[in-house]
Structure 1
Amino acid sequence: MTKHIPSLALSWMIAVCGAGCGSQREVELLDKDRFIPSVRTVALVQTELSRTTVQPATVHAYFESTIRPKVSGYVSELRVDIGDVVKQGDTLLVVDIPEVRKQREVIEARIARRRAAERRSSAGIELANAEVQSAKASLAEAESQLDQIDASLAAAESEFRRTEDLVQRGSLQQRVLDEVRKKRDSESAARRSAQSAIESSKAQVTVAEAKRSAAKADMAAAQAETQIARRELEEVDVMIGYATIKAPIDGVVTERHVEPGNLVGPSVSPSNRPLLVVSQIDRVRIRIPVPELDASHVNPGDEVSISFPSFPDQAPLSGQVSRRSSNLLRDSRTMPVEVDLDNTDGRLLPGMFGQATIAIESKTTAKTLPSRAIHFDENGNAQVYVVDEKNTVKVAAIRTGADNGNMIEIVDGLSLGAKVIDANLNRFVEGQSVNVLN
């Protein structure tokens, strides 16, 4: 019985201490004396480390076009459904708009009437031109007659002066002078009549030219009204063109919210949903929200590795940052970043979720440990279990830096070459002995 007294005493001491006369630390030390765990260690070494940020990633169509109606009418033809591959310019659906087509017929009739008015104005211009020519001809004739009368008047005036001189000398009788005077006065009256004819002809020319100007103005007005009607016809033709809705891009119909016979229009679509959605997915955008801490370090051209839970057995896809928004979203304090990837096989579907690792700094030499060897307490403070030359554990608080997902930079708290316990599910305490396997 005396051989069992030490073990019974030890058990009694453990029970008493567990009841409150000691601390958990003493219990752990007692357990430590009875069991020494085996561990593997890793050393703090200098390695090349590149800073990365790991963020969620979502697949989006490269372009996504929502199809909405521009005109109101009933869907007479629906030529596509979800999953259909379309090319730019392919007809997707047709809207029946009979009232607009009737409006086109009315405008065409109006144009025909305007064209008739143009022809009438053109005829008026031709008539006015003829009247102008006639008035000018009458004017020329009157001027010619005036010239003839001026010559006759000059001759009569000369004869009158000569006859008067002869009468004064007594060579001719007075009656001869009277006859010559009457002839001269007749020629003078004829000249005044010719001058009146010229003035009348000039007035006729002015009137004819005014009529021609008025006819030209009527012609210009008729042509302007015809042009207005033609522009109205072009506008109606544009609206009729909207009735045939075509694919704006190459892609796949990914949504359909319309049925044949539905009444559609800018204000009648239910819940303002688009009729169709066409998405370009032969090339996709991977959108990554980068948090504020890393946003300023991400630039176009940075290497990106993207993995998807949908393809667990496939290697991550590689790409580069194509663009960054250079702006933090207020609600999430993240900056949207996009990566363009070819998707000719259609494997990546819009809406897929993945994980993106962005290399945001060039490689630098740093003291590092595997991330699995670092532990964090309930306050988020990093610590490691250092093993000294006596295989005794020391709990060391450390300060970490860059993290590439596998290795973490140790900024402070450890010396180069220090050995720490590698990944282990056990919790260790200060001064605990361990059995180092490597």
Structure 2
Amino acid sequence: MNVVQKIAKPAAVCLFGAFWLLAIGCTSEHAVVEKSAEPRVVPVKTVAVTATEVQRTTRQPATVHAYYRAELRAKASGFVKTLYADIGDYVEAGAKLAEVDVPDLIKQRQSVEKQVLRLEAEERRSRAGIQLAEAQVRSANAMFSEAKSQMASVEASLAGSQAEFDRTEDLVQRGSLQNRMLDEARMKRDTESARKEAVTSSINSAEADVAVAEAHLESARAHLDAAEAETETIRSQLEEVDVQIAYATIQAPFAGIVTARNIEPGDLVRQSNEVGNGKPLFVISQVDKLRVRIPVPESDAPLVSPGDEVTLTFPSFASEAPLVAVITRRSGSLDPSTRTMLVEVELENKDGKLLPGMFGQASINLSTKIAANTLPSQAIRFDEHGNGYVYIVGDDDTVLRSDVTMGADNGKSIEVLSGVHSGQRVVGSHLKRFTDGQKVKPL
């Protein structure tokens, strides 16, 4: 054996050994890969979907409003004379805010006032006429009474003259007296009869005078009534002018804060209730008590009742505890444009912390409880889009992913509206992600 053969033989042996080791290594790696591909059963804790009676709630936006808010305008035309209040001032009910100069109304009032004075003088003259007519009535009644009293005397004298005439006539017929005596008795009787007729005429005249005097009295009284009615009419016009002048003074309708002022001294205020851009002269808001208005959607509106508890949170006071109140009133109808029903909550605001216009969230505990499917919060997972899902464990211990729709969340358990039904098992808290059909081992 030469040197080359001696060297080649060991080299061939080494090369064969290298290929053999490489083959064994590849076979072993393939065996490991095949062994690792075998499915591994993952132990999991499962929870069951349970039907639980839950307090139904609705969470809606809420807006703070003043308890009362009034936009004040003038009902008289003129220039702004004086300002008594500015933005942020607290004013009592009836306090002056501004005064408008109305010289035309002042002149009108003076004219009407003079008419009232004239008519009052006419009333006094009518009253004097009544007094004169009453005196005339009394005078006519006195003359009438006097005439009637004369009638009694005349009738007595006439009766005496008639008796004397009858006696004289009897004596003349007997021849005891001359005819001359009968003529004298007849003349005396006729005279008394004429007196009676004259007194009767006087009575009739006096009675007529009484009627005329009474008619004058009634006329004077009617004239006074007309004068008083006309005076009252003009007084009403005077009161109307006074009311128009009073409109020139802008007053606060209730105690509150001046939240807007849109006039300056010297501005022309027109009776059209507008100042240039149509804004109100002042806005007064009562803020010691507030209204929180909440639009409730149609699905929840029938379940909201006065007295239901409301929890209010505001971004301005995020670090503070929520406010708890109750619903004070509900509108009872839906807004056709938004399909929501307005409900109100009243809040005391003595410290003035809350401001009208603030926005917040209201969680209303509805007046009904419902049986809902619930799961622990840890059993529900979320994908990259924020959608919730669970892993349902079937009877054969295989996993099936199911998307769920969530409802009320109290921090510990979540209401599941769809995706699962009562009694189903789902994977509880677990870090691993599963695939549909994967085998698990419930603990």
Write the letter of the residue equivalent to 1:163: T
Matched, 1:112 2:85: no
Q: What is the DSSP-based 3-state SS (H/G/I as helix, E as strand, rest coil) of the residue aligned with 1:259? A: coil
Q: 1:59 to 1:207 in 2, by over 3 A?
A: same
Matched, 1:312 2:318: yes
Residues of 1 paired with 2:208 and 2:233: CA distance? Answer: 37
Residues of 2 paired with 1:260 and 1:119: CA distance? Answer: 47
Residues of 1 paired with 2:249 and 2:209: CA distance? Answer: 60
**Aligned match for 2:103, one of 92, 98, 106:** 98
- Quote how far apart the aligned CAs of 1:260 are: 1.4
Residues of 2 paired with 1:248 and 1:354: CA distance? Answer: 29
Write the letter of the residue equivalent to 1:288: I
Residues of 2 paired with 1:308 and 1:215: CA distance? Answer: 78
Residues of 1 paired with 2:47 and 2:422: CA distance? Answer: 13
1:135 corresponds in structure 2 to 140
1:286 corresponds in structure 2 to 292
Residues of 2 paired with 1:298 and 1:198: CA distance? Answer: 93
Residues of 2 paired with 1:309 and 1:257: CA distance? Answer: 31
Residues of 2 paired with 1:390 and 1:108: CA distance? Answer: 104
5+ unaligned residues in a row in structure 2: which ranges? 1-21, 31-35
Residues of 2 paired with 1:423 and 1:122: CA distance? Answer: 108
> Is the Cα contact below 8 Å between 2:295 and 2:343 reproduced in 1?
yes
Please show how residues 16-415 of structure 1 align to structure 2 within 5 Å: 44=49, 49-267=54-272, 269=274, 270-362=276-368, 366-370=372-376, 373-374=379-380, 383-386=389-392, 393-396=399-402, 403-404=408-409, 406=411, 407-410=413-416, 413-414=420-421
2:427 corresponds in structure 1 to 420
After superposition, the CA RMSD in angstroms is 3.6
> Is the Cα contact below 8 Å between 2:74 and 2:270 reproduced in 1?
yes
1:24 corresponds in structure 2 to none
Instruction: Deviation per CA, 1:371-425: give whole Å up to 9, x if none.
Output: 575468999997422357998642135676x52454333467345472335597x
Q: 1:203 to 1:161 in 2, by over 3 A?
A: same
- Quote how far apart the aligned CAs of 1:278 are: 0.7
Q: What is the DSSP-based 3-state SS (H/G/I as helix, E as strand, rest coil) of the residue aligned with 1:296? A: helix
2:6 corresponds in structure 1 to none
Q: What is the DSSP-based 3-state SS (H/G/I as helix, E as strand, rest coil) of the residue aligned with 1:49? A: strand
> Is the Cα contact below 8 Å between 2:44 and 2:427 reproduced in 1?
no
- Quote how far apart the aligned CAs of 1:345 are: 2.0
5+ unaligned residues in a row in structure 1: which ranges? 9-30
Instruction: Deviation per CA, 1:128-180: give whole Å up to 9, x if none.
Output: 11111111111122222222111111111111111111111112211221122
- Quote how far apart the aligned CAs of 1:47 are: 5.1
- Quote how far apart the aligned CAs of 1:302 are: 0.9
> Is the Cα contact below 8 Å between 2:57 and 2:364 reproduced in 1?
yes
Write the letter of the residue equivalent to 1:67: L
Q: What is the DSSP-based 3-state SS (H/G/I as helix, E as strand, rest coil) of the residue aligned with 1:50? A: strand
Residues of 1 paired with 2:216 and 2:335: CA distance? Answer: 73
> Is the Cα contact below 8 Å between 1:57 and 1:353 reproduced in 2?
yes
- Quote how far apart the aligned CAs of 1:359 are: 1.0
- Quote how far apart the aligned CAs of 1:44 are: 3.9
Residues of 2 paired with 1:152 and 1:415: CA distance? Answer: 133
- Quote how far apart the aligned CAs of 1:333 are: 0.5
Residues of 2 paired with 1:348 and 1:434: CA distance? Answer: 55
- Quote how far apart the aligned CAs of 1:37 are: 11
Residues of 2 paired with 1:126 and 1:195: CA distance? Answer: 29
Q: 1:319 to 1:222 in 2, by over 3 A?
A: same
Deviates more, 1:109-118 or 1:258-267: 258-267
> Is the Cα contact below 8 Å between 2:390 and 2:426 reproduced in 1?
no
Identity of aligned residues (%): 50
TM-score, normalisation: structure 2: 0.82
Q: What is the DSSP-based 3-state SS (H/G/I as helix, E as strand, rest coil) of the residue aligned with 2:299? A: helix
Q: What is the DSSP-based 3-state SS (H/G/I as helix, E as strand, rest coil) of the residue aligned with 2:208? A: helix
Residues of 2 paired with 1:370 and 1:249: CA distance? Answer: 53
Deviates more, 1:201-210 or 1:261-270: 261-270
- Quote how far apart the aligned CAs of 1:91 are: 1.0
Residues of 2 paired with 1:122 and 1:388: CA distance? Answer: 111
Write the letter of the residue equivalent to 1:280: Q
> Is the Cα contact below 8 Å between 1:64 and 1:278 reproduced in 2?
yes
2:15 corresponds in structure 1 to none
Write the letter of the residue equivalent to 1:318: V
The aligned length equals 414
Write the letter of the residue equivalent to 2:329: R
> Is the Cα contact below 8 Å between 1:42 and 1:422 reproduced in 2?
no
TM-score, normalisation: structure 1: 0.83
Q: What is the DSSP-based 3-state SS (H/G/I as helix, E as strand, rest coil) of the residue aligned with 2:130? A: helix
Q: What is the DSSP-based 3-state SS (H/G/I as helix, E as strand, rest coil) of the residue aligned with 1:408? A: strand
